[in-house]
Structure 1
Amino acid sequence: MAPVASLFSLYLVILFISYLSNNSVECVRTKKKIYLDLVTQNACFRVLNATHQVGCSSKSGGNVGVLHYLEGQDDYDWVLKDGPHTPYVVLINSEDFHREKVQQLFKSGRVNGILVVNVLNNSTLTPLPPNGFSADKDCPNDNYGAYYKNDSYKHCKSVKWNKPGEALYFNDYHDFPMFAISNISDLNILIDQCYRPFNQPGNGVAKTYPICAVELSDSMDAAKDSITCIRRSELITNLNPTKYCDAMGDKNIISTIKAIPQNVPRPAKSVIVVATRMDSISMFGYEYQNSDTTVTGIVALLAAAQALKQVKDDLRAATSDLMFTFFQGEAFDYIGSSRMVYDMELNHFPYDITDNSSLQLQNIHLNHISHFIELSQLGHRDQDQLWIHSDPISKEIPAISDEVKKLIDIIKPIGEKLNVSLGETAADQPLPPASVQRFLRKMAIPSIVITDHQKQYTNKYYNSRFDLPRNINADYPPTLNDTEKYDYITEQAVSLTNIATTLARFLYKQTTGKQLTPDLENKIQADEKEIAHLLYCFLESPVCELFKQSVSPEDNKNLASAKKPFPFYVGVDYQTNQITRLAHSILAQYLGDRMVNITKEADCKQPDNDKRYKYLWMQGSLKPGTTDTREGWCIKSTAMLHKAKSPAFDIDDYDWLSGEYSTWTESTWTVTKVRAFLIPSESQEVLTLCVGLALFIVSLGIVYFFNASSDIIFLSTNTASDTPPS
């Protein structure tokens, strides 16, 4: 027992010393002393289709390189030719981040990754590229629209819509990570604490060690193409199968004015579709600034729906029905619209009716659609006009041409009264990229697309992180606080108010056939203040009163934690993104009815005998005299979510190379991170190794000494323990 007691005493001494040390010295993990982790998570990631992988991925253990800030041509020469400390990770300014420069760095063999300065609220640090920037193609969705087989119009032979488009997003940067540095503190660390003190050459001479390096990690799990990825994901090799990628998709939003039950026939050519898209792409995750690309269309369509609220009874009594539609996944080869067309052809839209014991909405087929009106980009008026585009191929049918002319003849004078000038594009000019093209692939429909451009996009930053509110006059004076910004009427809010009012009055007249009297015009008027609120919530901050009243109590926690506008990226199909949920709730408010007699969430549900309406419980407005207690609203409406997942993933034995449907998937990954650290010289590394080995040998000697001499060292203790009591 004596040796045990001695060892226990020694253990107590060590424990006591450790306790004193912990109370006098702050313990820090060794890793944190070596690495400086950045906040930045905005990585370029990998997506795949049936034939390719595109986007970025680091090596499995991350990519390491010496940081170099590319401020001028001398810095490019240093990194690409002269610098001795290869490989490099470069920090590049926003103006230099374009295809030519990126390809030059990627192919050099001397660069291991790119960091892009992306502090968008600082025009000095991140000036807008003067010639525009778009990571999308110059002919978006080229092979999946209405003209994919037409020799005159395919590949944008007539008009290159997105002139700044360099298709940077659609290149494969294998083992070459890229991150956007959006946090100014991260930028200061990289430039002022890493590059300038340790790496910046002086008079063409490299600095000596230590030097500052950066590690970029965003290793992607998927590889090659969607076909390979899905096959690998479906292989069951253990009890926990690994998923390498997910089908891209989300939910479309639809709402009809009428609630026609399945036992009542729906007349042919009786549904007017009015639509817009909701999504976009960007090179970097969490960087989806879409002021003109998507938000102007979303806001205008929501505002038009609200403007028609007072005349819903007239619309319900009309022969025609009106269907508001918000498509998701359109940036990735028309995912949402192609799904809707597919379901209509199968008689599954808006859902597959399998139970006739309760009332459900009558299905809508393609032949039920009488007209299709689509809103696209509306923020940059070309020649101070909006432009009406129509399809030259379907107009070869006289009846279609006549209907298109009627649509134009109705909407133009309505717009003129509201200072909305609407021009017509050339008769032989094809439609720009638009969701209606997926419908026109199947049948000729009288259709128009309303945009802010006559030919090529007036938006120089289409589908890019530079599509900012200030570019469409939707920004705010710097002196305003958040409350003042929320109610501030920007120039764009005024413009969209007139557009939404024009659209609402046009839809009323087209649906009902009635003339617009002064009384009706007073009723059908978009709310300028509400449009200001929508712009603020989508573009400035989602932590706003409109969004707060539109979410459920459960979703409010996610809303309250939002630090920046929600992304407009479609995401993967198994989850519904925030933009979709919020737009759905707002549309339900605008077109539906509040059930004032229902005051509890548990009571806000569909009756068993009538499934035509959806019931949504949302927080509602603040109770009078309170700052944190909300009324709770039960909204009954026809607004619903419809699957926006490519049919390619649901069709058995689908021909993945047919080009009929979108095949985009998103790779899975484990972690994305950026961290900086110092690299010592080789001599210092050798010295550190030698000192470590020496300490190890000395430690072995001490342990051996104590072990061999334990009987002598602990003799007095042992003797005392063995002496019998007197």
Structure 2
Amino acid sequence: MVNLVMRLSLCFVVFAVICELGECVRTSKKIYVNLESVQGCFRRLNATHQIGCASKLGGNVGIIHNIETDEDLTWIVDYGPHAPYITIMSSLIFNVTNVQRLKDSGKVNGILVSHVVSNKSITPLPPDGFSPDHSCPLDAFGMYRNDSDYKNCKSVVWNPVGSSMMYQDFGIPIFVLQNETEVNSAIYDCYEKFNKPNPDGTSRKYPLCAAELKSGMFAAKDSVTCIRRTNHIVNLNVDQFCDPLGDQNVFATVKEISSEKSLPFDHVIVAAARIDSFTLFEHVTPSADNDITGLVTLLTAAFALSMSGAKESIQNSPDAKDIMFTFFQGEAFDYIGSSRMVYEMEKNRFPNTLDDTNVYLHPVNLSHISHLVEVNQLGFGERNLSIHTDPISRNSSQIDTQVKEMVTKLKEFGNEYDISVKLAGESQPLPPGSVQRFLLKRSIPTVMLTDHQREFTNQFYNSRFDLAENIKANYSESLNQSSEYDYVTPQAENLARKGALLAQFLYSLSTGDKTYISAVELEPMVTHMLYCFLYNGTCDLFQTVVDKADVEKLNEEPYPFYVSVARNTNYVSGLTKKLLAYFLGVQIEADNSDNCKAQNSTDKLYEYYWMQGPLDENGTRHGMCYRSTAAYSEAKSPVFLDEMSGYDWASGEYSSWTESTWDTFSVRLFLVPSEQFQMLTLGIGIAVLLCSHCLIFFISRKAGTIFSVPPPSPVSTAN
């Protein structure tokens, strides 16, 4: 018996070693083909409902069917004998109407969308545009939501191609395929080879190729329910069902006014842009025109003020107004970032909650703001710029006078840079923008600068088609990486001009004077920023401003612009803050990173950044320490603060978006045999099981004979 146990143990060890070496997974690999380069649509929730996609927790399975035409879609809905199906859809046919039709048929268990980007472009693009956002974006949380003349885009439908697809609750998993090899595998090796209907329209026989899509979501119903379930602790392991959307706003003031000094009312100009955007799929967010053009233009204006010496003129003039460069996060989800900043300003605790032991930047509240300037979509119309103003606040003659002065200045500077600056209709409301959240609380002279007079010029607003090539920021395939980095695209020239104009305008608002800023001298920096944000995160500019310890975090692909959940900080926010510190800060002496960052513990007025620095002629970076007012402020909706425990979620005053947690996202292909073959396999399995039971019964009955142990040998007692 002992020998038998030892043999069994040895067999178990050998089996474990073989499994460790990977032999045990070979059968699985032969059965399944895993698709790795996929991104999934997932579930989000707000105060009233849930949106997005989800599979069953164990995954959804269906027979693959490729849809390229309306006839292919009709074949599934009206005929399709092998339901449920997993469909593959091209970008041209993937729209809310077709998806809803498939879902309503009850025959579709999931969707795969072909979305292959070659040289940062897609051909063909949807000819009529594509936007999964509303046709009237952000209206429910903007300043016109209760105005009978302007609510629901009565005056201007800003996004006429908007389908509201993003806000549907599909209830099935939807994934996007981005790798050409995997798309070909799904279409040709799977669908064409096994599933494509016969020429007469009849279905193919088994075996058929199927797919399993996993994207199970743990949250359901709405944010109120989800947060309550998460906060209801029933054991030591807290179940996290969802997380609030949010991140960090980025801001920096040109002046360094400490909390020990006075800050006059109407003394701060807020120059704003947004950082985030969204698509149906988390990491597929290029957002070339939607937010990168505004982001880069505002950063360019900060760089221009510093490069030209205008920054020092503002700092040295006690009468000059301060300029606060502000980049908001979470704006695509009902103005998360701007709403939180306004909320903190109303509490008089922006940017910090003060104490008696440290000196901080002076608190800024709404009464300190003299002007609001927002840059939004600027990628189209290379020599054109549109000014939007708010007709409601302009009912005040004082504000109307100041707005007219702002418009006059912008047109004057437009002439200097050969840009046609036009005012949108004075009775026309502001487009969706962060400044609306400020104007809800106080009337302030405001302008918004865009590339459109009325409806968006961008036909791919908040979609995965908002690509660099659409705004002429793409590079020739013949260029290598180093030459791409220095190649001035038409878009780089466009944003350099608009960045110079914006810097001139902000300087004039601050001081009442003019300064000279060369747009041509800004082009290299604009080129570098566009290349870094749109193409390659390992670019030299990003490597210059990050700490050596953060170099490995740089990504060769563009960074996603989705705000994500509040417990994470989007890397784009961090890079924006470091660029702002680099442009507006002051380099100080420090030998190393520790000496530089140690000053943060004693100085609350500034933040200190250790950067790798630019390459010298020998290809070496020597490191540098920058002191700057650039900092973060919370971009998480006020509804999730403990002090808002009595908040009425149904009021709709603040954003309440959350994101469901999930276990895994996966897509894999496999062959499904006929039902007869499956029944045969089941029958054989049952037969083997019964035979095993009979064998075990027989061995148990005869165990004494089979496993009998021979008597021990006699032990000799001789000396």
Smaller-chain TM-score bracket: over 0.9
Distance 1:5 1:587, change over 3 A: same
Partner amino acid for 1:333? D
Distance 1:8 1:613, change over 3 A: closer
Report the secondary structure of 2:331's partner residue.
Answer: coil
Distance 1:7 1:316, change over 3 A: closer
**Deviation, structure 1 residue 530:** 1.1
Report the secondary structure of 1:173's partner residue.
Answer: coil
Report the secondary structure of 1:337's partner residue.
Answer: helix
**Deviation, structure 1 residue 285:** 1.6
Report the secondary structure of 1:216's partner residue.
Answer: strand
Distance 1:687 1:314, change over 3 A: same
Equivalent position to 2:553, from 534, 558, 582: 558
Tell me what 1:334 maps to. Answer: 335
Tell me what 1:149 maps to. Answer: 146
Task: Give matches, 1:677-716, under 5 Å.
Answer: 677-700=670-693
Task: Give matches, 1:599-610, under 5 Å.
Answer: 599-606=592-599, 610=603
Distance 1:259 1:598, change over 3 A: farther
- Is residue 2:184 matched to residue 1:188? yes
Instruction: List per-residue Cα deviations over 1:638-690 (Å, max 9, x = no partner).
Output: 00101111112122301111111111111111111111111111111122122
- Is residue 2:350 matched to residue 1:357? no
Distance 1:84 1:584, change over 3 A: same
Task: Give matches, 1:157-172, under 5 Å.
Answer: 157-172=154-169
Tell me what 1:646 maps to. Answer: 637
Q: Which runs of 5+ in 1 are unaligned?
A: none
Distance 1:197 1:545, change over 3 A: same
Report the secondary structure of 2:323's partner residue.
Answer: strand
Equivalent position to 2:523, from 520, 523, 528: 528
**Deviation, structure 1 residue 351:** 1.3
Distance 1:563 1:208, change over 3 A: farther
Q: Which runs of 5+ in 2 are unaligned?
A: none
Tell me what 1:5 maps to. Answer: 3
Percent identity of paired positions between Structure 1 and Structure 2: 44
Report the secondary structure of 1:555's partner residue.
Answer: helix
Partner amino acid for 1:361? L
**Deviation, structure 1 residue 334:** 0.8
Distance 2:593 2:450 in 1: 43
Tell me what 2:607 maps to. Answer: 614
**Deviation, structure 1 residue 213:** 1.0
Instruction: List per-residue Cα deviations over 1:557-602 (Å, max 9, x = no partner).
Output: 221xx35211101111122101000000011000001123343334
Tell me what 1:400 maps to. Answer: 399
Task: Give matches, 1:453-468, under 5 Å.
Answer: 453-468=452-467
**Deviation, structure 1 residue 58:** 1.1
Tell me what 2:658 maps to. Answer: 665
Task: Give matches, 1:109-508, under 5 Å.
Answer: 109-121=106-118, 127-174=124-171, 176-202=172-198, 203-309=200-306, 310-318=309-317, 319=319, 320-353=321-354, 355-381=355-381, 384-508=383-507
**Deviation, structure 1 residue 419:** 1.7
Distance 1:311 1:684, change over 3 A: same
Distance 2:656 2:356 in 1: 35
Distance 1:108 1:608, change over 3 A: closer
Tell me what 1:635 maps to. Answer: 626
User: 2:430·2:448 contact (CA, 8 Å) conserved in 1?
Assistant: yes
Distance 2:42 2:301 in 1: 37
User: 2:600·2:608 contact (CA, 8 Å) conserved in 1?
Assistant: no
User: 1:136·1:169 contact (CA, 8 Å) conserved in 2?
Assistant: yes
User: 2:566·2:636 contact (CA, 8 Å) conserved in 1?
Assistant: yes
Distance 2:601 2:543 in 1: 30
Partner amino acid for 1:293? N
**Deviation, structure 1 residue 179:** 0.7
Partner amino acid for 2:416? K
Distance 1:311 1:678, change over 3 A: same
Partner amino acid for 2:2? V
- What is the RMSD of the two structures over their aligned residues, measured on CA atoms? 2.4
User: 1:307·1:501 contact (CA, 8 Å) conserved in 2?
Assistant: yes
**Deviation, structure 1 residue 547:** 1.2
Distance 2:462 2:14 in 1: 61
Report the secondary structure of 1:230's partner residue.
Answer: helix
Distance 1:64 1:122 in 2: 33
Partner amino acid for 2:224? I
Distance 1:51 1:356, change over 3 A: same
Partner amino acid for 1:200? K
User: 1:307·1:525 contact (CA, 8 Å) conserved in 2?
Assistant: no
Instruction: List per-residue Cα deviations over 1:600-643 (Å, max 9, x = no partner).
Output: 334423365531111122332346535xx632222100001011
- Tell me the TM-score normalized by structure 2: 0.94
Instruction: List per-residue Cα deviations over 1:419-452 (Å, max 9, x = no partner).
Output: 2211111111111001111111111111100000
Distance 1:16 1:582 in 2: 51
Distance 1:19 1:144, change over 3 A: closer
Equivalent position to 1:676, from 669, 679, 683: 669
Distance 1:598 1:510, change over 3 A: farther
Distance 1:5 1:221, change over 3 A: closer
Distance 2:523 2:226 in 1: 48
User: 1:40·1:673 contact (CA, 8 Å) conserved in 2?
Assistant: no
Distance 1:17 1:653, change over 3 A: closer
Distance 2:121 2:322 in 1: 51
User: 1:281·1:288 contact (CA, 8 Å) conserved in 2?
Assistant: yes
